[in-house]
Structure 1
Amino acid sequence: DRARATARPAARPASRPATRRPTGPRTPHTIRLGSPRPRLRLVGVGLTLVMLAFVVRLLQVQAVDASAFSAEASKNRYTNVKLAAERGEITDRRGVALATSVDAYDITADPKMFTPQDSKAPDAPQQAAALLAPILGKDVKELTQRLSTKNSRYVVLAQRQTPQVWNQIKDLKRVFADKAAADKRSNGPGANVLAGVFKETSSKRVYPNGDLAAGILGYVNAEGRGAGGLESSLDKKLSGKDGEITYAQSGGRQVPTADSNEKPAVPGDDIELTIDRDIQWAAQSAIAEQVQKSEADRGYVIVQDTRTGEVLAMANAPGFDPNDLTRARSAAMGNAALQDVYEPGSTAKVMSMAAVLEEKKATPETRVEVPNRLHRGDRLFKDDIDHPTWYLTLNGVLAKSSNIGTILATGQLGPTQPEANEVLHSYLTKFGIGRPTGLNYPGESRGILAAPKDWSTSQQYTIPFGQGLSLNAMQAASVYSTIANGGVRIEPTLIRGTKGPDGRFTPAPAPEQSRVVSAETAKTLAEMLESVVDDQEGTGTKARIPGYRVGGKTGTSNRVDPATGRYKGYTASFAGFAPADNPRITVYCAIQNPTKGSYFGGQICGPIYKKVMEFALKTLQVAPTGTAPAGLPVTYDAAPQPAAQPAPQPSPQPGQ
């Protein structure tokens, strides 16, 4: 029972409410953490690897690949700009500029600086092109394409622009650079669409006298290189050597405090010509006026110093202005006086007479009976006018420019016509026909002179009076200079010398000389040529110059049409020198295909000769000699006397 009483306590009264003991705060559930050391090790290893990577990269940049990274940095920071060499001047014999260069700029760009990353503008090429196009006169689309060029750090936007053009671009660049700097200060991107536009110092070729001597000078192309005339043939001497400057740039501007490396440009040589500007002007004005008046295809005038071979003027009409090639006719852009070849006609008779006199087959007084018509080979020859039988001296044959008389005279050069042909050919060659003039001018023609064995039946008789052979105007002038110079041919020259960057003048090499005929023959020919001008029956009376003795010869020849290869129209010419007894100046004039008014050389070229020769004599201060001409006879009394007889003729041969 006691045990039971202990196990079961007495029941509490029901009416007594149950009471709770006060409780304290509940103890929270605790998670036990592991050791932190593994995590620390992991972080440490990671940091170590990162640092190691930085160290390796640093070593690569500063040690292993230092030169490569340095070069790349320099490439991005430094820019190379070409320093164009100043092109040499071309001057006349007195130092007057005929072709010179003025300051200009090539506008260039770095396409990389127009990418969104560098310019901070998504459409930098388009914006820049829109700004530059009206200044440069270029198409916006074209400029956009150039500024968008990939894998390139250099493009040319425009060449040889004036300083005024660059100043406009420079002002725009300054405005955009200032805006970009202000934008950066305001934490903006600092966009600049013109930072990649630069200039390169260049030059622009100008010709102060316009079309004066343009045929000689030539012109330069879009790259500033010689493309015609002396500008082309002397391009290497004129061009010099370009230099280069390397400098640090930032935002398209040179960093003034940074190092720069400059290789100076070497200027080209100045070229001094033999041309006299004033005489060139007189020749060019005279021929241009007559070509227009005669409605001719073209014309040329050569003025040469008889004693030195120096060319004082070489004029062509029509010409062109090398300052504005867009208006030039392609046919007028060459030097026709050296490039055109044509049959000279009667001005070539002086070479035939030289051969006859030098071979002592006749004298100026030798009598030549000239019929109205002459059968030779398969042709019937006549003079320019119908006439009764003329009783002329050899001097008269030249004075009256008789084709028939010339055929008869040159027939005496050999016992047979083929042998006479050989002799005549040798003299023509010595006078320079069919050979280069020696000027080494680009595109020059050497003319046409076939070997005697290739002369047709007709050519055997036409070549003595200037048909059947071809030459250029310089060759024709040189023939008369040879006679005026006592029979010694001096190769014509256009270059007097060069002046280098150091200012030292180097004369051109002396021209080659060769004797063609004796001094006696040359003097006799000069006297005979005076009869052409002085005698009332001569064909060159319009070339007379008061106070001066003048020797000269007219020429009127059938002209070969270049388009058809057949004879059509005429070539009119006049050649001569003065003073005839002490020659100083030679003038030659030719006009191709005159279609209005006279086509005879004495009528339309004689006056040109007179005008140009008078001007040249005054310019060079050549005084009249004051001596009287020889007054050789032109005709003889028709009383029966021995006359020059033609050489025996071979059987007719096929020919034209």
Structure 2
Amino acid sequence: MVAALIVLSLFAAQLVRIQGIDSAEVARDALRQRTLSEAIPAQRGTIYDAHGTVLAASAERRRVVVDQSAVPEYTRTEGEKQVKVGVAGAAEELAGLIGKEEGEVRTALTGDRRYTILAPNISPLTWRKISALGIPGVYSERATQRTYPQSTTVASLVGFVQPHDQSAGGGLELMLDDTLKGQQGEATYEIAQDGSRLPSADSAGSSARPGKDVRLTIDNDVQWYAQNALAAKVEETDALSGTVVVMRVDTGELVALASYPTFDPNNIGDADGVFANLAFSDVFEPGSTSKIMTVAAGLEEGTITPDSPMIIPDHLQRYDATLRDSHPHPVEYRTVGGALAESSNVGMMLIGETLEPRTMESYFRGFGLGSKTGLGFPGESAGLLPAADKWDGVQRYTVTYGQGLSTTAVQVAGVFQTIANDGVRVTPSLVAATSDGEGGWTPAPAGKRTQVVSKDTARSVNRMLEGVVTEQGTAPKAQIEGYRVAGKTGTADRYDEEAGGYSGKTASFIGFAPAQDPELVVAVIVQRPIKGYFGGQVAAPVFKDVMTHALQAEKVPPSPIEGDPIKTSLDEKPAEDTPGLLRDRGNPGAR
């Protein structure tokens, strides 16, 4: 009897615990089993050009999903009756709205899976029409879709997002992802017996926080023009690729960064172009465009002047190599300015012999070679500039005319920006401002400024570069009517990693205008052109077209006066004792 009472007491105590103490927990467990949490995507920030043109934006979309076990209960009004039409009726209603065949929709609605994506990307308006049907188990999840109104024009610069989850995939989308992406929220729903969603009273959801908008330094109009001019030249010359950089002289702001081949970021799944922006990632030996650094170093160190006399043969024997000018010619009597204007390799080697290798290296690095810009652009290369103590006897000469070192298009544009800006290098910039979340903008910090060479040196080089863009120079096709132009051609052997050696040429022209008060730098690089390969033939005409358009877009007035021509040639052979004479003084020896 006593034992029975004890057992009954234990059952009673357990019943009290279940009904009283654990009832709340039991209820919570039941609620959890019929509760669903959904991520609320954050609206990604919009990317604008300098004038407010939209380059990338996100739109609200809906992902239609289905609980297949609930759809058979679908009923609809036919006449004055409620008729149970189930999966067949639901498929009939949905097919036209989501753009699929009725049989395909019927298959997607049939089964016992609790979660199946029916339509991954529909508009909010279409979803409202679907929701009004009241089909059990059919609901939507919030999503976003990134669109790129300018398509291929800025694709390699702005980049793209991954279609399946809208995560950053490349370009500025990846570089600025922390700023653009925002923070997703969360919503909690209770699932009713018919599969419909009910807002949970105990929801601990949170609102999504949108990303910040970004305004770039890029001018979409100039970018569009540069992209099309470049594409036309690459196709015309059967070239492998190309890039155009447009930069403001006084601020280092990048106005355009064209790259070809390109792709359509609105259809990334079928893209077959080059995703990288070649202005940052393509590394090449610059050739003659780097000669301005050799001349600037000599001027700054006081070993030469623009009028220093030179005796220039068409080749030099240095160590066990014969180093040549681009074409055979008799011995010439030039000034330093003439050697630069006519792009003499031998002339640059003679200047280089007046400088220690470590001095040359320090100037190259001062101009920005051998290091990244600091922008953080995905895939950017630092180029290749070996330390001077690693140069062999021949490389000590070839670097003076741009072989034996490698750069990117943005780097060499920065070299000319430095000369055009009175010797002050400004770190390039792409972002002008970021939205502050309250309707205003927070300006980006200005680029770092570094005095690389003196104003006098920079202006001397500037005047010499005007000589390049004359009938006596290598780039008369870069002339712009009404404007003074300064610049330099480049035609370099192109190293091909796949071939494991040199293959084809790199044709380039980089310059600035107006020469007397520079506003813009334009760099044009064309890789492995087949139909013509000299920089003055291939790249200079593109420079002319892009610079002309950019000057007009920036409302830069024409040059008021012509510059004084520099002295480029000597009337006769200079005497051996002529002060400052640069000539071949013999082979320094074997390596």
Q: Give the TM-score of the pair, scaled to structure 2.
A: 0.88
Report the Cα distance in structure 2 between the residues aligned to 1:142 and 1:595, rounded to whole angstroms. 56
Q: CA shift at 1:357, angstroms? A: 0.6
Measured after TM superposition, the shift of residue 304 of structure 1 is 0.2
Aligned to 2:556: 622
Report matched runs for 1:284-299 at 5 Å. 284-299=227-242
Matching residue within 181, 202, 205 for 2:146? 205
What does 1:483-522 correspond to in 2, within 5 Å?
A: 483-522=419-458
Asked if the contact 1:411/1:647 (under 8 Å) is kept, the reply is no
Measure, in 1, the Cα distance between the counterparts of 2:95 and 2:320: 71
Q: Does 1:68 align with 2:25?
A: yes
Q: Of 158, 162, 168, which aligns to 2:123?
A: 162
Residues 194-245 of structure 1: CA deviation (Å, up to 9, x unaligned): x223211211000001111111111001210101111112112111111122
Q: Is the 8 A contact 2:251 2:446 kept in 1?
A: no
Secondary structure of the equivalent of 1:69? Answer: helix
User: Structure 2 vs 1, CA of residues 327 and 422 (structure 1 numbering), >3 Å: closer, same or farther?
Assistant: same
Unpaired segments of 5 or more residues in structure 1? 1-44, 117-123, 178-194, 414-419
Distance in 1 separating the partners of 2:384 and 2:106 = 50
**1:365 correspondence with 2:307:** yes
| C-alpha spacing 1:70/1:342, structure 2 compared with 1 (3 Å) | same
Corresponding residue for residue 632 of structure 1: 566
Identity %: 40
Asked if 1:225 is matched to 2:140, the reply is: no
**Is the 2:492–2:506 contact (alpha carbons within 8 Å) kept by the matching residues of 1?**
yes
Which residue of structure 2 aligns with residue 95 of structure 1?
Answer: 52
Aligned: 1:240 with 2:240: no
Name the SS of the counterpart of 1:581 in structure 2: coil
The offset of 1:68, in angstroms, is 2.1
Which residue number in structure 2 is paired with residue 342 of structure 1?
A: 284
SS of 2:257's partner is: strand
Is 1:326–2:283 an aligned residue pair? no
Q: Which residue, 367, 378, 388 being the options, matches 1:452?
A: 388
- The CA deviation string for residues 365-402 of structure 1, in whole angstroms up to 9 with x for no partner, is 11111112221121112211221111111000010001
Letter in 2 for 1:458: V
Q: CA deviation at 1:630?
A: 2.5
CA contact (8 A) 1:85 1:243 kept: yes
**In 2, are the aligned partners of 1:482 and 1:489 still within 8 Å (CA)?**
yes
Contact 1:114/1:148 (8 A) holds in 2? no
d(CA) in 2 for partners of 1:129, 1:510? 59
SS in 2 for 1:605: helix
Per the alignment, residue 32 of structure 1 pairs with none
Equivalent-residue separation in structure 1 for 2:110 and 2:235 (angstroms): 47
1:572–1:257 Cα change, 3 Å: closer
Match of 1:586 in 2: 521
| 2:212 is aligned with 1:269 | yes
Counterpart of 1:444 in structure 2: which amino acid? Answer: E
Partner deviation per Cα, 1:89-136 (whole Å, 9 max, x = no partner): 0110111110001121123345775799xxxxxxx9999899979947
Distance 1:459 1:256, change over 3 A: closer
Q: Does 1:470 align with 2:431?
A: no
Cα displacement (A) at 1:584: 0.6
| TM-score (norm: length of structure 1) | 0.80
**C-alpha distance 514-84 of structure 1, shift in aligned 2 (>3 A):** same
Shift of 1:636: 0.9
**Alignment partner of 2:507: what SS?**
strand
Q: 1:444: how far off?
A: 0.5
Amino acid in structure 2 at the alignment position of 1:353: V
Q: Aligned AA for 1:205?
A: R
Is the CA contact 1:398–1:529 (under 8 Å) kept in the aligned structure 2? Answer: yes
Taking the aligned partners of 2:484 and 2:41, their CA distance within structure 1 comes to 53
Of the three residues 537, 547, 550, the one matched with 1:603 is 537
More displaced, 579-588 or 255-264? 255-264
Deviation at 1:603, TM superposition (A): 0.8
Evaluate the alpha carbon distance shift between residue 518 and residue 163 of structure 1 in structure 2; reply closer, same or farther with a 3 A threshold.
same
User: Is the CA contact 1:125–1:148 (under 8 Å) kept in the aligned structure 2?
Assistant: no
Q: What SS is found at the alignment partner of 2:152?
A: coil
Q: Separation in 2 of the partners of 1:572 and 1:256?
A: 64
5+ long unaligned stretches in structure 2: 74-85
CA distance in structure 1 between the aligned counterparts of 2:396 and 2:139, rounded to whole angstroms:
69
1:197–1:501 CA distance, 2 compared to 1 (3 A):
farther
Change (3 A) 1:126 1:442: farther
Q: What whole-Å deviation, never above 9, does each CA across 1:26-70 have from its counterpart, x for those lacking one?
A: xxxxxxxxxxxxxxxxxxx9xxx9xx98x8897455422223222
Q: Which amino acid aligns with 1:170?
A: S
Distance 1:423 1:647, change over 3 A: farther
Measured against aligned partners, the alpha-carbon deviations of 1:329-357 in whole angstroms (never above 9, x if no partner) come to 25x11111110100011000001111011
1:574 to 480, 493, 509: 509
Q: Which residue of 2 aligns with 1:544?
A: 479
Q: In 2, are the aligned partners of 1:412 and 1:645 still within 8 Å (CA)?
A: no
How far did 1:547 drift?
1.0
Q: SS at the partner of 1:211?
A: helix
In 1, the alpha carbon distance for the partners of 2:255 and 2:303 equals 36
Question: How far 1:146 moved relative to its partner?
Answer: 11
**Could you tell me whether the CA contact under 8 Å between 2:493 and 2:504 is conserved in 1?**
yes
> What amino acid does structure 1 have at the position aligned with 2:536?
G
What's the secondary structure of 2:372's corresponding residue? Answer: coil
The one-letter amino acid paired with 2:546 is V
CA change 1:245–1:519 in 2 (3 A) is same
Does residue 1:106 correspond to 2:63, yes or no?
Answer: yes
> What does 1:117-128 correspond to in 2, within 5 Å?
none
2:582 paired residue among 624, 636, 644? 644
Match of 2:466 among 530, 534, 546: 530
Query: In the superposition, relative to structure 1, how do residues 501 and 137 fare at CA in structure 2: closer, same or farther (>3 Å)?
Result: farther
